[in-house]
Structure 1
Amino acid sequence: MTDPQLGMLMLGLFIFIIMLGFPIAFTLMAMGVSFGYYAYYTPGQEFFQNRIFTLLVQKTFEVTSSDVLVAVPLFLFMGYLIERANILDRLFYSLQLSMKNVPGALAVATLITCAMFATATGIVGAVVTLMGLLALPAMLRAGYDTKLSAGVVCAGGCLGILIPPSILLIVYAATAGVSAVKLYAAAFFPGFMLAMFYIVYAMGRAIINPALAPKLPPEQTNVPIATVIWALATSFLPLALLIVSVLGAILFGLATPSEAAAVGALMSIVLAAAYRSLNYTMMKESVYLTVRATAMVCYLFIGSWTFSAVFAVLGGQTVVEQFFASMNLSPVQFLILTQVIIFLLGWPLEWTEIIIIFVPIFLPLLPNYGIDPIFFGILVALNTQTAFNTPPVAMAAFYLKGVAPPEVKLTDIFSGALPFVGLVFLTMALVYIFPEITLWLPNYLYGSR
């Protein structure tokens, strides 16, 4: 068996093993070390003199000393603190009051709350679960359609994947070796455009068929304007200032993502203290969850970079490049094919595995088709959202089902989420057709590469 064939066998075995349920990070490291031992073997060497062990240590050092990845635990810590700061119920209530005259007021308030909270935390499961406990029962009590209500919560909870400061974009920047700041700028318009599509869709459904989203009774909306202003000032404004200050500092070059994340983490502590939620238990849980998630990401990077290095040495990457070259694809066809593959990978895998393991296979091919890696990263971030809401493995739907009232069926959640998946595909199509939606802001702020 030739080295390139061994490389493809290595990739095939990895996919087969993870389908059996083995831990992905450690499977990557085990496959990288075992196949790498063969790739770097020279006759007569002692066991630990093989260069694969040097490569593993080197990749571990690169991951743990990466300036870009420092932002990951800081943003995670900020998110976990905000999640526990008891701000979500106040935020939803204030937006509900301020949107009382808008068609589908509760759905719109839910989407805006999800967008803000998802942006601040970046944790899909947490946003969907908390909004499922808070907003879904409120919409159902108000007579809202079950499918529409469930779709709004599932779709809104995934917006943090794309809208900065997104942890996915930080991980992609480290994987692709591109500027995280430019990625954030590139994601700005597509992210908020997608959120606007969600809001317009919910309002449109309410206008066309008011029975799907009845108006709230007067006793819930006849509130003095001073009460509304105070509710917004004590819930919406603090979180908005936190997000704008962190994101603005990054986009305008006042701070690196890591520095802005550190300030954001400090501000989230202050915010939790202001809401009288800061205590030892909360801090301990937030630190524990941050360390656990960060360790997972770091181990994935170590395993992936070791695996990728051995895969390239064996010639597997060359086989992939030759395969795509033999198909004579145009840039658009290449983009569509890669996005279809990523869409399918989203069913069995989390976004972290897709970004760290499989996206690097496509990255070396981008120059052959003249595709900007930043543009490609935004498409991947958009595409990844569909996996959370597309059956049969729609994690957002399962998160919501876990906290939804018993009468809400899983099929209703699937049906409600699918139209929002269509809006993601619409956004991707617009980004395909008009790439300046993504590239104009980073080029304007920082100049073209």
Structure 2
Amino acid sequence: MTDAALGLTQLGLFLFFILLGFPIAFTLMAMGLFFGYLGMGERVFDLLVQRTYAVMANDVLISVPLFVFMGYIIERANILDRLFRSLQMASGNIPGSLAVATLATCALFATATGIVGAVVTLMGLLAFPAMLRAGYDVRLAAGVTCAGGCLGILIPPSVMLILYGATAGVSVVQLYAAAFIPGLMLAGLYIAYAIGVAVVYPSKAPRLPPEEVSVPFARILLALLTSFFPLALLIAAVLGAILLGLATPSEAAAMGSLGSIVLALAYRAFSWEKLKESVFLTARTSAMVCWLFVGSFIFSSVFGYLGGQQLVEEFVKSLPLNQFTFMLLAQAIIFVLGWPLEWTEIIVIFVPIFLPLLDDFNVSPLFFGILIALNLQTSFLSPPVAMATFYLKGVAPRHVRLEDIFAGVMPFIYIVIFCMLMVYFFPGLVTWLPDQLYGYTPPSEGAPPSGLDAPPQGGFQEDEAVRLPSLN
């Protein structure tokens, strides 16, 4: 068997074992070491040490446990209930007010936590029953809860963007700037859809009774001052420090963690038990991310050494593709991979296969990353995995069927695809804010006038990851 055939066999067996339910990180390492030993001999063990040290010494990953810790502290500060109630009062006269309040709460809370499972579960316990009691259609309520809870992997500070930056060698600072407008646009499209359904089909989203809508303005303002603005101020401070260059993502994440503790103390929701639980969950999540990176680096390095990467590149280049068809093919593959796999596997295993091809089609890694972040919204919503739907099913009333939840998320998947098309055909939605803050190198002469070929410049050196060198 040739080395290239070994590489393709390695990739195929990995998918087979993952579908059987084996742990992803250790499956990656096992496949990498086994096939690496066949192709490289004992040198593969040197590779294991080298890649493990490289992951542990990667500065860009420091912000991951800090942002995760910030999210867990805020999650346990019991702020979500206050936030939802205040936004519900503020949007009382809007059609579909409960759905609008749910999506707005998800968007803000997701930026603070970035943990999809936590947001969907908490909103499934709080907002989903409230919508059902108000007479909302089960499918609409389920779709709103699941789709809103997934916004955390797109809207900064997103852990997914940090992992993509470490994988692709793109500045996390510029990824945050690039994702800001598309993230708000997607949340806005979700809200517009919910309002549209409430206007066209009032029976699916009935208006609240007058006694729940007629709330004095002073009471609404007081509720917002005690719930919405403190969290919004913390998030604005963290993101503002990053985007304006006042702090690196790691430094801003550290201050955000401190701010989350202060916020929990202010709400009298901080305790030693909650702190220990948050630290434990943060350590578990961070360990998962680190071992996933170690495994993926070993796997991808062996895959490249055996010639699998070169074989994939040659195959793609042999196809009659232009920039648009390449992007369509790449995003379609990632969309399909989102059915059986989670976003972490896609980012660290399959995205590196496409990265070397970006230069051939004049596509910026930054722009490509934002499209992937949009695309991966569907990985939480698309059956058969659809983790967001299973999170909701786990806390939903018994009469709510999984089929209803699947049907409810389908319109939001279509909205995500529409948003991706908008971003592709109007790339300024991605490039405008990074361009204003950091500037771009002018496009090369003769390149397609789409704006996709502008490579990101600037950013903090601490948060720049280096591309993995080829071993062959």
- Specify the TM-score bucket, using the shorter chain as the normaliser: over 0.9
Please state whether the residue corresponding to 1:70 is helix, strand or coil: helix
2:142 to 146, 150, 174: 150
Aligned to 1:71: 63
Shift of 1:57: 0.9
Matched, 1:252 2:224: no
Partner of 2:435: 443
Name the SS for the 2:147 alignment partner: helix
1:39 to partner: Cα distance: 2.5
**Distance (Å, rounded) in 1 between the aligned partners of 2:10 and 2:191:** 45
1:318 equivalent in alignment to 2:310: yes
Alignment correspondent of 2:222: 230
CA distance in 1, matches of 2:299, 2:90: 52
Give the match for residue 46 of structure 1.
Answer: none
Q: CA deviation at 1:409?
A: 1.6
Within-5 A mapping of 1:40-189: 40-41=40-41, 50-189=42-181
For the residue of structure 2 that corresponds to 1:119, the secondary structure is: helix
CA–CA separation in structure 2 for the residues paired with 1:18 and 1:146: 33
Deviation at 1:38, TM superposition (A): 2.7
- Give the match for residue 16 of structure 2: 16
TM-score (norm 2): 0.92
Q: Does 1:25 align with 2:25?
A: yes
User: 1:150-179 deviations in whole A, cap 9, x for unaligned?
Assistant: 111011000111000100000000000110
How far apart are residue 229 of structure 1 and its match? 0.8
d(CA) in 1 for partners of 2:183, 2:265: 30
Is it true that 1:365 corresponds to 2:357 in the alignment? yes
* TM-score, with structure 1 as normaliser: 0.97
Say which SS state the counterpart of residue 59 (structure 2) adopts: coil
Look up the match of 2:300.
Answer: 308
Q: What is aligned with 1:348? A: 340
For residues 275 and 335 of structure 1, what CA distance do their matches in structure 2 show?
A: 47
User: Is 1:417 aligned to residue 409 of structure 2?
Assistant: yes
1:31-63 CA deviation, whole Å, 9 max, x = no partner? 11122223223xxxxxxxx32122111111111
Give the superposition deviation at 1:224.
2.2
Cα RMSD (Å): 1.0
Question: Matched residues in 2 for 1:19 and 1:201: separation?
Answer: 35
For residue 112 of structure 1, what is the amino acid of its counterpart?
A
Cα distance in 1 for partners of 2:79, 2:225 equals 12
Instruction: Report deviation, 1:28.
Output: 1.0
In structure 2, the partner of 1:397 is 389
State which drifts further: 260-269 or 211-220. Answer: 211-220
Structure 1 CA distance, aligned partners of 2:435 and 2:24?
Answer: 37
Q: Partners in 1 of 2:381 and 2:10 — Cα distance?
A: 31
Q: Which amino acid aligns with 1:4?
A: A
- AA paired with 1:390? S
Distance of 1:337 and 1:24 partners within structure 2: 25
Instruction: Report the secondary structure of 1:100's partner residue.
Output: coil
Give the Cα separation in 2 of the matches to 1:404 and 1:374: 38
Q: Is 2:340–2:384's contact at 8 Å kept on the other side of the alignment?
A: no
CA deviation profile, 1:82-127 (whole Å, cap 9, x unmatched): 1110000000000011111111111100000010111110011111
Take 1:386 and 1:11, find their aligned partners in 2: how far apart are those partners? 23
Shift of 1:2: 1.3
Deviations 1:200-237 (A, max 9, x none): 11111111122221221122222222211111000000
Give distance in 2, aligned partners of 1:144 and 1:22.
40
Q: Is the 8 A contact 2:110 2:149 kept in 1?
A: yes
Measure, in 2, the Cα distance between the counterparts of 1:415 and 1:28.
Answer: 34
Counterpart of 1:47 in structure 2 is none
Asked if the contact 2:55/2:293 (under 8 Å) is kept, the reply is yes
The answer to which of 73-82 and 390-399 deviates more is 390-399
Residue in 2 that maps onto 1:44: none
Distance 2:217 2:429 in 1: 37
Deviation at 1:418, TM superposition (A): 0.6
Letter of the 2:96 counterpart: G
How far apart are residue 308 of structure 1 and its match? 1.0
Structure 1, unaligned stretches of length 5 or more? Answer: 42-49
Name the residue aligned to 1:296: 288
Of residues 31-40 and 301-310 in structure 1, the stretch that sits farther from structure 2 once superposed is 31-40
Give the Cα separation in 1 of the matches to 2:133 and 2:17: 46
Distance 2:220 2:235 in 1: 21
Give the aligned partner of residue 462 of structure 2: none
Q: Secondary structure at the match of 1:253?
A: coil
Give distance in 2, aligned partners of 1:311 and 1:400. 37
Deviation at 1:3, TM superposition (A): 1.2
Q: Report the AA paired with residue 6 of structure 2.
A: L
* 2:223 counterpart letter in structure 1: A
Q: What SS does the aligned partner of 1:68 have?
A: helix
* 3-state SS of 2:112 partner: helix
SS of corresponding position for 1:158: helix
In structure 1, the partner of 2:368 is 376
Q: Secondary structure at the match of 1:120?
A: helix
Give the % identical residues.
Answer: 66
Tell me how far apart the structure 1 counterparts of residues 184 and 206 of structure 2 sit (CA, whole Å).
Answer: 26
CA deviations 1:176-202 (Å, max 9, x no partner) are 011000100110111000000001111
Alignment partner of 2:380: what SS? Answer: helix
Q: Where does 1:190-205 land on structure 2 (aligned, <5 Å)?
A: 190-205=182-197
